[in-house]
Amino acid sequence: MTAKSTTLPTPERSAERPAGRLRLRCGWSRSSPRPFRGTTARPRLYALDGLRLLAALSVAAYHYGGRDGEIGRAWGASPAVQFPTAHTWFAYGWAGVQAFFVISGFVICRSGWGRSVQSFLASRAARLLPAYWAAVILVAAVFALPGIAYAKVTPSEFLVNLTMLQMPLGADRVLGVCWTLWAEVRFYVLFALCVVVPGVTRRNVIWFCGGWTLAAALARASNEPLLDLVLMPEYASLFIGGMGLYLVHRDRRDTAAWLIVAFSLLLSQYYTVQEIWHAPDDAFFSYRPELAIVLAVTVGFVAVGAVALGLLDRVDWAWLTTAGALTYPFYLLHEHLGWPVVQALHQGLGLSSALTLALTVTLMLLLAWLLHHGVERPLQPILRRSLDGRRVPTDGRRRSTRS
């Protein structure tokens, strides 16, 4: 199987110019295939970093003010009382996870192009593990402090959580959000086995997207738990939609890619409605109409689609790189560490709900910055090169790496 070819522009000699002078055509039309080849450097998509942070902040809004549970204990009352109007909007923050999965499909397809299996898996492990280990250790340590009125982590639960396999083992989670990481890991493995091993080409990506879409639907119909676990029918279409959008990013005239995106959106809204919608009931925290759920899922596709089509190329602010770097550690830390912070600020110091929310998010972002600079930046290159079989430089220099 061969990849869909993309041609680099070649120098053209202008008839009006003197001989020997060349005019380089260095741009591409909006509809032409983008000339990404192998492992050559790709332009950074700053807007995608911004979307990552927005998705993380929407999830934080959901965890802090869009549902009941432990956060209600932290506030001292239901978030519906703390935010009488805003809580109905915060309740849609779960859509940030759906957007994350679409972004992940886009990014993984992009980063896997031209890589070996070892290089791809080394990159993914180096991206996830350092911050994850630090977050598990930090949350377990905070919850072990006297005066923290939340469930302590047992030594056995703490240790198994370091493997990222606590979900299939049925162990308690140290980080509430780690269920999404378990979905990500399964996606990485499927992509590596089905696409990276035979070689990442347009044709292989399309076959993978089509095959996974059909297999996931059949898995749901079969009621077989193992197939459901491996093929993730409730989330597969989100990852697949992201991969389709990356193919659109490479060539917006790709009809097959557009069909993948369209089918993925249709399936994603259905699976999400089935999972989240319920009839109006006062016993629930809030009521989310079916159409609103459909629109929330669609927003994630549209946002990533805008990046894929280059509509946000002018959004190239340098600070968005930092925003993107903070997203993952912020996402890991914000929920569980947010509980004692909210309780201390609101119930302890008597700060208003709005000020408490703003300060909690700010503190979590600051903590994420510390974790990124203190853990991720020094450890990621070392882990990536070690797993990739390359020697780590001993002269203090760092080679550029792709994430």
Residue 394 or residue 14, greater confidence: 394
Is 22 a residue whose pLDDT tops 80? Answer: no
For residue 225, is it within any domain?
Answer: yes
For residue 394, is it within any domain?
Answer: no
For residue 3, is it within any domain?
Answer: no
Is 21 a residue whose pLDDT tops 80? Answer: no
For residue 9, is it within any domain?
Answer: no
Distances (CA, A) of 88 to 51, 79, 286, 317, 361: 22, 10, 6, 32, 19
Is 2 a residue whose pLDDT tops 80? Answer: no
Average pLDDT over residues 15-40: 39
For residue 168, is it within any domain?
Answer: yes
How many whole angstroms separate alpha carbon 209 and alpha carbon 195?
10
Look at the chain and report how many structural domains it folds into.
1
How many whole angstroms separate alpha carbon 352 and alpha carbon 354?
6
Average pLDDT over residues 367-378: 96
CA dihedral 303, 304, 309, 312 (to 10 degrees): 60
Average pLDDT over residues 20-47: 50
Give the confidence band of 64 by pLDDT, cuts at 50, 70, 90: very high
- Burial tier of 363 (Cβ tally within 10 Å: 0-12, 13-18, 19+): middle
CB 328 within 8 A of CB 103: no
Supply the pLDDT for residue 279: 58
pLDDT tens-digit profile of 149-191? Answer: 777 888 999 999 999 999 999 999 999 899 999 999 999 999 9
Name the phi and psi angles at 129, rounded to 5: -70, -45
How many whole angstroms separate alpha carbon 194 and alpha carbon 118?
14
Residue 175 DSSP class? S
400: Cα separation from own chain's centroid = 22
Give the confidence band of 41 by pLDDT, cuts at 50, 70, 90: low
For residue 228, is it within any domain?
Answer: yes
Is 398 a residue whose pLDDT tops 70? Answer: no
Is 29 a residue whose pLDDT tops 50? Answer: no
Instruction: Give the list of residues 6+ apart from residue 293 with CB closer than 8 angstroms, or none.
Output: 269, 272, 273, 276, 277
Average pLDDT over residues 107-119: 93
Is 39 a residue whose pLDDT tops 60? Answer: no
Supply the pLDDT for residue 281: 56
pLDDT tens-digit profile of 253-284? Answer: 999 999 999 999 999 999 999 888 765 555 55
Is 388 a residue whose pLDDT tops 90? Answer: no
For residue 76, is it within any domain?
Answer: yes
At what angle are helices 117-143 and 377-387 packed, to 10 degrees?
Answer: 140
Is 327 a residue whose pLDDT tops 70? Answer: yes
SS3 355: helix
* Residue bearing tokens 């809580």: 87
Least-confidence region, from 247-261, 272-286, 289-303, 365-379: 272-286
Supply the pLDDT for residue 3: 42
Is 228 a residue whose pLDDT tops 90? Answer: yes
Give the confidence band of 401 by pLDDT, cuts at 50, 70, 90: very low
Is 36 a residue whose pLDDT tops 60? Answer: no
Average pLDDT over residues 367-384: 96
Residue 41 or residue 232, greater confidence: 232
**Domain coverage including residue 324:** 46-387
Supply the pLDDT for residue 13: 34
Residue 114 or residue 147, greater confidence: 114
Least-confidence region, from 105-114, 197-206, 270-279: 270-279
Single-letter amino acid code for the residue at 321: T
For residue 353, is it within any domain?
Answer: yes
Is 20 a residue whose pLDDT tops 50? Answer: no
Average pLDDT over residues 19-30: 37
How many whole angstroms separate alpha carbon 171 and alpha carbon 259?
39
Is 128 a residue whose pLDDT tops 90? Answer: yes
For residue 303, give both structure tokens.
């946002």
Supply the pLDDT for residue 305: 97
